[in-house]
Amino acid sequence: MDRRKFLAAGAVGTAASALAAPAIAQDKRQWKMVTAWPKNLPGPGVAAQNLADRITTLSGGRIEVKLFAAGEIVPGPGVFDAVSEGTAELYHAVPAYWGSKSKGILLFGSQPFGLRADEQVGWLTHGGGQELYDEMYGRFGIKPFLCGNSGPQWGGWFKTEINSVEDLKGLKFRTTGLASEMASKLGMAAQAMSGPAMFQALQTGALDAGEFIGPWTDSALGYYQVAKNYYWPGVGEPSSAEECGVNADVFAELPEDLQQVVSFACESLYNPVWTEYATKHAQSLRTLVDEHEVQVRKFPEEVIAAMGVAAAEVIDELRQDEDELVKRITESFVAYRDLIGGYMTYADNGQMNARASVMGY
């Protein structure tokens, strides 16, 4: 190659490099994730960080997600509005916190006597739930994704034993979502607050009892230090889905491959998060009983039956809601619950009962 051709080729290469560099820079995004949790709180705090890291990794760094714990940019209860208004690009929380926006939202997180973790995904993926989820959150400029689940939550930490429905009346009780409405119908004074705040309230007597998640997370927050009676089953939340909410305009502006990255990052974490909860809950329960003398107690059958009556009233009110979308969400949930529940009587329920009858072989 003569000198003139060499210089011309070099000039073209230099020009191409000059054009390519800004394009690459423009293809990188820095996103703020706000969460409802303390940083690395066992369970949801860990899951939130895993999601931030996974989006960053799967995107090849084209979306760099930096996590901000509750209170660092906005308080935990403010993350929904922060993303809706564009203060942050995405959040990690649970639908149970957004009942003030619409009661229909609450069904996407947990439902008293409702769906288990696997069934929740089944409803959204195969029962029409995702379309309704998108429609509801679209009202607030948010694109929602499920990204984890705590599995069955517990009935709660009680300072005194519960022997009858009467024992519940007047109790100051921490819970959230539709479980709080069920509790209110049983005469309890339901209060919503953060997990750390629940510990302080139990300690000072501002609460008589409360539920947060399950043994793993609850152990980290120290509830066993201020209440020794740990009740099951947690019929108020047979599962509790964790969600990622992305600002809808920000999501729509992404190229298709990065939209798929965000979607897959959420979807791919659901089972790892859920199974980590289950494993760590099992390990932590042994520690609570063996080392901290926690008393694991089952709610009396009459209490469970009364909870069922109250839960049915909650769902009936949703079916009669003035908002047509809330009605459609409720009918879709009920139809899927009845469909899958009828099958599980023979499938998973049958297997679990059979296994329990021969445990120890």
Q: Are 225 and 198 in contact (CB under 8 A)?
A: no
Q: What phi and psi values does residue 67 have, to the nearest 5 degrees? A: -90, 135
Collapsed DSSP state (helix, strand, coil) of residue 58: helix
Q: Are 192 and 176 in contact (CB under 8 A)?
A: yes
CA distance 346 to 111: 22
Residue 159 to residues 127, 176, 207, 222, 292, Cα–Cα distance (Å): 41, 19, 9, 14, 15
**Which segments are annotated as binding site for Na(+)?**
212
**Which segments are annotated as binding site for substrate?**
153, 174, 211, 237
How far is residue 312 CA from its own chain's centroid?
23
DSSP 261-281: HHHHHHHHHHHHHHHHHHHHH
**Which segments are annotated as binding site?**
153, 174, 211-212, 237
- Could you list the beta-strand ranges (E) of the chain: 29-35, 63-68, 90-93, 142-149, 156-158, 172-174, 189-191, 209-210, 229-232, 241-247, 295-298
Q: Are 95 and 108 in contact (CB under 8 A)?
A: yes
Facing residues of 143 across strands? 246
Radius of gyration of the chain (CA): 24
